[in-house]
Structure formats: structure tokens, C-alpha cells
Amino acid sequence: MKAHLTRRYMFSASHRLHSDEMSAEQNRQTYGKCNNPHGHGHNYTVEITVSGQVDEQTGMVCNLADLDSFVHNHILERYDHQNLNLLAEFAKQVPTTENLCIAIYEIVKRGFLKAHLEKVRIEETMKNSFEYAGDL
């Protein structure tokens, strides 16, 4: 019996949307106010969805404490209160929330082996959310 588990986490981070491959004018046109040289911040909500067989003994897809510990150690500790532009994974790409979603997906996919990763969803604002479920 397969089931899905979605767990929600929150962190705050800043970023500036800017591409060195584009001119200053192209950056302003593409990213608007998000191209502010001083950056801006968000209170991100991240949802991690995993799936698997329901363990007959525990009745769970995976232990929530294991997932929480992994996310705390590998996601929240890495991104909370950081300027995303200064992190290695964004040295050569714009730290859009789409790219942040993919980066978090890859971290969880490589490291959390106690359940199958289905998707990562990030809510950036009340109007913007992004989801990544891996390459198809």
C-alpha cells in the first residue's frame, strides 16, 4: 500500500535576480524590482513530498523525525538567513525560486534514502509557488 507524505518547512533568505549574461537594461526588463542591487528577501515555505509503502509495523511511509532531521541539517541550515547569490550552487545561475526548488530537490534526492522523493514545492509569496518533480 503506497502513500504520500508532505511535510512543510519555513526559512528566510534573500536574493537578487541578475544574470551576468545580460546587460543592465536586459536585467531590469527581465527581473524588474527583483533586480534591485541590494536584493530583497522572502519567507519561503518549502514542502517536501515523499512516498513509499506503508510499513506494517509503524503504519508510516517514513519516520517524520528522520525527514525533519534531514531537512533541518541539509536544507534549513544551508539556506536560512542566507543571501542565495553567495552560495556555490548559484555562482553560475540566477537564484530564482525555480532554481532554488531544483537545488533543494537534488539535495533531498541524493541524501534522503528512507522514502521515494516525489516533489519539492516552494511558496515564495501568496501569489507565487514553484514545484519540481525531477526530470521526466
What amino acid positions are annotated as catalytic residues?
34, 81, 124
List C-alpha distances in Å: 87 to 17, 32, 57, 58.
14, 22, 41, 39
Spatial neighbors of 103 by CB under 8 A, at least 6 apart, are 89, 90
User: Can you say whether residue 82 is alpha, beta or left, with left for phi > 0 and alpha for psi between -120 and 50 degrees?
Assistant: beta
Helix, strand, coil percent values for the chain (each to nearest 5): 35, 30, 35
Q: Are 32 and 96 in contact (CB under 8 A)?
A: no
